[in-house]
Amino acid sequence: MTVASVSMPEELLDRIDEFADEHGYTGRSEVLREAARNLMGEFEDKQLEDRDLLGIVTVLFDYETSNAEERMMQLRHEYDMLVVSNFHSHVGDHQCMELFILEGGLDDISTFVGKIRATQGTTTVDYSVTPMDASEPIA
């Protein structure tokens, strides 16, 4: 098996190690392999291809230690045809929440979510997609 080096904050690495111990993984490599497979699988759902989708993306970030808010607005404008609504709110002492409502295809939504996830300073990125043609449910 090929060895890959990955940079990440020490706190995240500690969380991965704790997760591995608590859930019976043989080590952090096994956790990261499964996480990578799951992440890639999220966007490979054939039942969502060629359908109009509604996407909801929720992002949390610390506004005092990052420029994530500026990046969120850049992406909001870059993907103006995809983002139909956007909501910003302060939560807690130092956190902001950005909510994006998207309408588009799986490829466009996947690209947008990927760029959000790649933004430095985000602490949480969560999303869901739902077909807009409710008469044809996902099996």
What pLDDT, in 10s, does the model give residues 89-122? Answer: 999 888 999 999 999 998 899 999 999 998 988 9
Confirm or deny that 23 is annotated as ligand binding.
Answer: no
- Please, are residues 47 and 106 in contact by the beta-carbon 8 Å criterion? no
| Amino acid, res. 9 | P
Whose tokens are 């992406």? That residue is 75
Across the range 18-24, mean pLDDT stands at: 85
What pLDDT, in 10s, does the model give residues 34-51? Answer: 888 777 766 666 677 778
Confirm or deny that 88 is annotated as ligand binding.
Answer: yes
CATH superfamily of 53-131: ACT-like. Chain A, domain 2 (3.30.70.1150)
> Distance between CA atoms of 37 and 31, rounded to whole angstroms?
10
- Please, are residues 68 and 61 in contact by the beta-carbon 8 Å criterion? yes
Confirm or deny that 90 is annotated as ligand binding.
Answer: yes
* 44 Rama class: left (phi>0) / alpha (psi -120 to 50) / beta: alpha
- Please, are residues 62 and 123 in contact by the beta-carbon 8 Å criterion? yes
Return residue ranges of the chain for CATH 3.30.70.1150: 53-131
> Distance between CA atoms of 50 and 9, rounded to whole angstroms?
38
Q: What is the largest CA-CA distance in the chain?
A: 47
Confirm or deny that 94 is annotated as ligand binding.
Answer: no
What pLDDT, in 10s, does the model give residues 54-102? Answer: 999 999 998 887 788 899 999 999 999 999 999 999 998 889 999 999 9
